[in-house]
Amino acid sequence: MRIHYEERLSAIRSQVIAMGNLAHDMVKKASESVITGNPSLANEVIRDDDAVDAAERQTTIETIMLVMQESPVGSDLRFLISTLGVVGEIEEVADDAVKLARRSIKLGSNFPSSMKVQLSDLSEIARRQLASAVRLYADFDPELAQSIIDTDDEVDSAYSKARDELLGILKLDPTDAKGLVRAIEVFHALEHVSDGAVAIAKRMQLIDEPPPSMAG
């Protein structure tokens, strides 16, 4: 009975990791689509969202069924409860990737060339945050968790700098106001990706060191 339980627990963990890796790839493709103006990459991201949504539904069902059927306690229960939140965060990251993709299609090749390096850098940091969060879910490391949380300030600062520069461009030349607003939204979506990674890290910290009321 315990072996069967461990197999189900391991399967859930693997599903979440695969879901996180797919969301990571979606963010990468969407960012590249904005930078290169390649609509085919954007369309791939939009199609991949169905797979993430299906994985979220399936993992949620399997997690709830495992809790109901096996009545886990202690760290296992906290892990399974956190899993429900983690898959929700990953699904939101995938939604952010889709937003990036849709903005890319609308922008075409009109994303400001002067902002492409900043976009590439922010995308890399946000994706590194997400990859670290997925790794943290697979194998908790308190130092990695804190690093993800601390790095969010760097992401916020990079987003604020890009937003301010784009607003400066807008003031100088408001002829493409709609495009510049979309460009700001692109940077904002990447900032949200990092927020999702931070949320995952905080959930995993609760498993490792739960508050006294959750200890078991």
Q: Three-state SS string across the chain, please?
A: CHHHHHHHHHHHHHHHHHHHHHHHHHHHHHHHHHHHCCHHHHHHHHHHHHHHHHHHHHHHHHHHHHHHHHCCCHHHHHHHHHHHHHHHHHHHHHHHHHHHHHHHHHHCCCCCHHHHHHHHHHHHHHHHHHHHHHHHHHCCCHHHHHHHHHHHHHHHHHHHHHHHHHHHHHHHCHHHHHHHHHHHHHHHHHHHHHHHHHHHHHHHHHHHCCCHHHCC
With 70 as the cut, is the pLDDT of residue 64 above it?
Answer: yes
Domains of the chain, by residue range, sit at 2-214
pTM over 0.85: yes
pLDDT band at 75 (very low <50, low <70, confident <90, very high): confident
pLDDT of residue 62: 97
Q: pLDDT over 90 for what percent of the chain? A: 91
Mean pLDDT for the chain overall: 94
2-26, pLDDT tens digit by residue? Answer: 779 999 999 999 999 999 999 999 9
103-141, pLDDT tens digit by residue? Answer: 999 999 999 999 999 999 999 999 999 999 999 999 999
145-177, pLDDT tens digit by residue? Answer: 999 999 999 999 999 999 999 999 999 999 999
pLDDT of residue 208: 74
CATH class of 2-214: mainly alpha
pLDDT of residue 213: 56
